Amino acid sequence: MLAEVRRRAGEFDVIHFHTDMLHFPMFEDVAERTITTLHGRLDLKDLPEVYRHWTAYPLVSVSDEQRKPLPSANWIGTVHHGTPAEQYAFHLRSEGYLAFLGRVSPEKRPDLAIEIARGCGKRLKMAAKVDAADRRYWSEVIEPMIRAEPLVEFIGEIGDAGKSAFLGDPGSDGAAVLAEGEMTGHRHAIYDRVTMFRDDSLAHDIPKGLYVGHIRAVSCVGRSAVKGCSLHLTCSQFSGFYWSHTHGSGRRKWATCAPKG
């Protein structure tokens, strides 16, 4: 894929990469005509040297928190991941289980979700995939915790069609037990590790040391799904970056380069 983009680079005004830094050695001569969105962790050992070496690439973060390990990198903006709000129904009142939706990996902290459920005495349903890279973490850490805790039910990976019912089912307590782990830099999605509940009562049940804070889910709907993380806003922000890169150019042709899946 990168070889094909390299071959056709002259056809585009802006090339938008979602491939971390894999393209850096191949596109140095056109770095000013690229945008690179970084989606993962930036606190890994060798990354500072990489971004000190390739400073010409304009970078976009998915949250301001994500930038902290690399404050001097060539950041041009932050664009939060977009969510199609129309795909998710909101149910204000319910009594039932806690929900964990995401991926089984150390940075997502599914272990903390299980601890919270145990401390609250609440049922926990976990809808999460296990990537090949996290198989060991699953088998050595999370699977034994689930087997030892009768309150926890592991469902596995679910598609977009099933997420609204899983998170907003009349038998569910709230949008999520746990915010994504701090190391990922995706804390914008749940407001600094703040867990969302439908009411204030559940917050009182969380053991001391596991509770950071919460926002009532009813007050989050407009702020998150509609304003802060909508697909419309995501596209609008990226379009602004594209326009600034092509200002004064006779052409307006953009290409996006992202890994499959």
Q: What is the pLDDT of residues 102-142, one digit of tens each?
A: 889 988 888 888 888 888 788 889 999 999 999 999 999 99
Longest dimension (CA), the chain: 64
User: Tokens 């609008």 belong to which residue?
Assistant: 236
Domain boundaries, the chain: 2-82+230-257, 85-228
**178: pLDDT strictly greater than 50:** no
33-37, 42-46, 147-151, 245-249: which has the minimum mean pLDDT? 245-249
pLDDT at 136: 97
Q: Which two tokens stand for residue 261?
A: 């899946």
Cα distance between residue 56 and residue 51, in whole Å:
9
Query: How many C-beta neighbours within 10 Å does residue 202 have?
Result: 20
- Per-residue pLDDT, averaged over 44-72, amounts to 93
Which of the following CATH numbers is that of domain 85-228: 3.30.70, 3.40.50, 1.20.120, 3.30.190?
Answer: 3.40.50
**CATH number for the domain running over 2-82+230-257:** 3.40.50
Distance of CA 108 to the CA centre of its chain: 10
- Which of 60, 23, 74 is closest to 239 using CA atoms? 60
pTM above 0.75, yes or no: no
| Candidate from 6-20, 116-130, 183-197 with smallest mean pLDDT | 183-197
Do 2-82+230-257 and 85-228 fold alike per CATH?
yes
Whole-angstrom distance, CA of residue 130 vs CA of residue 234: 28
- Count CA atoms closer than 13 A to 50's CA, side-chain side: 15
Q: Which three-class secondary structure state does DSSP give residue 203?
A: helix
| Average pLDDT value for residue range 72-90 | 79
Which range, of 10-14, 51-55, 128-132, averages the lowest pLDDT?
10-14
**Is the confidence at residue 185, as pLDDT, over 80?**
no
